[in-house]
Amino acid sequence: MSTGLWLRLLDGLLVTLELTLFGAVLGLVFAFAAGLARLSANRLVRGVALAYTEGFRGLPALVVLFWLVFALPGLGFQLEPLFAGVLALSLNIGAYGAEVVRGAVLSVPAAQLEAATALNFTPWQRMRLVVLPQAVVAMVPPFGNLLVELLKATALVSLVFLQDLTFQGQIVRAATGDTAATFAGLLVGYGVIALVLTRLVKLVERRAAASLGRTTTSSGPHVGPLVTEGAR
């Protein structure tokens, strides 16, 4: 295989990593906004968040992506392709993440809120100082699963001509004619990235557990598509 083809794969890898990173960051924003909004006292806020989470969990990320890339320009909005990819992926993963956030916040014992009330914290202080620091620890393991889901979903963008790892793999396949080896290489490539991400999440998990003075962490609520250790 020529150097040019290897460089293509490297470019593709960078695009895939970019999509995963930016998708995760924006996805976290959606997840926290929608997850906390679902717990709001305001019915309208709750309703909007519910519509978002139920809606986007039901929509295939690919169709959302097609819509953003091919339909939205018809309405006069042309998105940067990479941004369209990040947006589609993060809207999808954020909807699952919102359930993780909501579940984790609800998993903090009511007694913690009562203790915070007894010390006369404001509602926002109770959330910020007491509930969220504990909830975040419970969020890390399911967020780790979602991160791997996100990585795998990035391959969809090759269908809208974003030049990610899968897209460049197709080019390599066309150039070399070796379908089996190319796709085997892609599988290994995604597998290795997933493995690295999982390791990183384990580190974060350990840090999170330490923030509660624990040496191991109990896993939080599992919501959304599950990738268990055994299945991977």
Partner 1 sequence: MTTELITFDRVDKRFADTVVLDDLSFTVRAGERVTLIGPSGSGKTTILRMLMTLTRPDSGTITLAGEPLFHERRGDTLVAAGERHLRTMRRHTTMVFQQYNLFPNMRVLRNVTEAPVHVLGLEKEEAEERARGLLDMVGLAGKLDAYPSQLSGGQQQRVAIARALAMRPDVLLLDEVTSALDPELAAEVLDVLRDVARTFDVTMLCVTHAMKFARDVSDRVLMFNEGRIIESAPPDELFDAPKQERTRQFLRSVIDES
Binding site for partner 1 (CB under 8 A): 111-112, 114-123, 125, 129-130, 133-134, 137, 211-214
> Measured from the CB atom, is 13 or 113 closer to partner 1?
113
**Which residue lies nearer to partner 1 by CB, 122 or 219?**
122
Looking at the Cβ atoms of 61 and 116, the one nearer to partner 1 is: 116
Q: Which is nearer to partner 1, 44 or 118 (CB)?
A: 118
Smaller CB distance to partner 1: residue 81 or 133?
A: 133
Q: Rounded to whole angstroms, how far apart are CA atoms 16 and 7?
A: 14
Are the C-beta atoms of 172 and 1 separated by less than 8 Å? yes
Rounded CA separation 56/31 (Å): 12
CB of 209 to partner 1, least distance (A): 10
